[in-house]
Amino acid sequence: LHTLPPLQLAHKYFQLFPEQRNPLWQNPCDDKRHKDIWSKEKTCDRLPKFMVVGPQKTGTTALYLFLLMHPSISSNFPSPKTYEEVQFFNTNNYHKGIDWYMEFFPVPSNVSTDFLFEKSANYFPSEESPRRAAALLPKAKIITLLINPSDRAYSWYQHQRAHEDHAALRFTFYDVISARQGAPAELRSLQSRCLIPGLYATHLERWLTYYPANQVRTVTDTQLNFIVLVCILIHSIYTSIQILHFDPQKGFWCQLLEGGKTKCLGKSKGRKYPPMEPEARAYLSRYYREHNVELSKLLHRLGQPLPSWLREELQKVS
Ligand code: A3P
């Protein structure tokens, strides 16, 4: 029997099995062989039970903050680079391994009643995330927020302008969404980042390849408000304390603090900008038409209700 020093042995191994160069982390406690060699000081409980996966600009931060008001729900510690989002499954952070990921989560005081969750809005359209998430968190519930993709695209464009993205400042929204092949590379890149997350049916199907349908939940903007109302109701029944308040100036639900003051999400959420031009809206309705039809079929198959915006868009089809 021949062997080699560890480093050379590893090189040899990956020469023989190049497809294994990309890791796919699994929960060490789900496999007896892994559990047996897993350090006694470590736990497998510092992993989320559910994930809010996005897409960006659909109200993910509001949902994240409202969920955190529940005493049994906690999320990851902030990342110095990406703030409340860990961005593990969709980036090279994945290669830092599961110890790196688990360090972001507190040790739950009661594993059965405490709910850890993660919100990373870029997971939804990412090619890699569903496969990787399902390998590590096969039992997790996946929550995605589906607002009208046209409004999502416009909100995202305004977000880029607010962050002084060069192309977003230079080109109008219509220029961005209608750019054709041969347009400047920065415009085409902005266009795909603006439009692709809104291809909801395609992304949902990818999540459904790896997760059973009963673990994938879609929430619409009206349901988000409904969730908020239910939270307020349950909370006020148990504590007689009102925790959320609809702020007419902000136009959104905000946290009600002691002393009657309200704390709304920061300036970057619920921005004020002009309404979308009718020409752009019509273009996007046409652009997303087939995808919206596919989404309606998919939601029907899943037995999930159609959002009101989707009904309206489908009526434009006929
Ligand atoms: P706009 O700023 O374009 O209006 P995300 O957190 O996923 O980036 O989404 C941001 C969007 O959440 C905001 O987009 C806003 O429309 C929506 N939103 C939903 N509820 C909100 C709330 N309570 N406060 C602020 N924004 C909220």
Q: Given ligand 1 and candidates 269, 271, 273, 309, which is best to mutate, with the most ligand atoms within 8 Å of its CB?
A: 269
Q: Is 64 annotated as belonging to a binding site?
A: no
How far, in Å, are 71, 180, 288 from residue 171 at the CA level?
Answer: 45, 13, 21
Q: Find out whether 193 is annotated in a ligand binding site.
A: no
Ligand 1 atom having least distance to the Cα of 253: 23
Task: Select from 271, 232, 224 the least CA-distant residue to 251.
Answer: 271
Residue 125 Cα to chain centre, angstroms: 9
The pLDDT assigned to 234 comes to: 66
Atom of ligand 1 nearest to the CA of 271: 2
Nearest CA to ligand 1 atom 2: 270
How many residues does this entry show for the chain? 318
By alpha-carbon position, which residue is closest to atom 17 of ligand 1? 59
The catalytic residue among 12, 35, 40, 57 is 57
Residue whose entry in the numeric block shows the structure tokens 């020409």 = 279
The reply to whether 296 sits in an annotated binding site is no
Distance 273 CA to ligand 1 centre (A): 13
pLDDT of residue 237: 59
Q: What is the CA(268)–ligand 1 centre distance, in A?
A: 8
pLDDT at 221: 74
Beta bridge partners of 247: 252
- Sequence-distant (6+) residues with CB within 8 A of 8 are none
* Residue at token pair 């009208």: 148
What is the 145 CA–ligand 1 centroid distance (Å)?
A: 11
Between the CA of 77 and the centroid of ligand 1 the distance, in Å, is 22
- Among all chains, which residue has been given the structure tokens 């921005």? 271
The whole-number pLDDT of residue 219 equals: 87
User: Which residues of the chain fall short of a pLDDT of 70?
Assistant: 225-226, 228-229, 231-242, 317-318
CA distance 22 to 152: 33
93: left (phi over 0), alpha (psi -120 to 50) or beta: alpha
57 is a catalytic site residue? yes
| Ligand 1 environment, Cβ below 6 A | 56-62, 121, 155, 158, 252-253, 265, 269-271
pLDDT of res. 239: 58
Nearest ligand 1 atom, CA 268: 2
pLDDT given at position 154? 98
User: Per the annotation, does 273 bind a ligand?
Assistant: yes
How does strand 115-119 pair with strand 50-54?
Answer: parallel
Whole-number Å distance, alpha carbon 54 to ligand 1 midpoint, is 12
288 annotated among ligand-binding-site residues:
no
CA neighbours closer than 13 Å in the CB half-sphere of residue 136: 24
0.90 surpassed by complex ipTM: yes
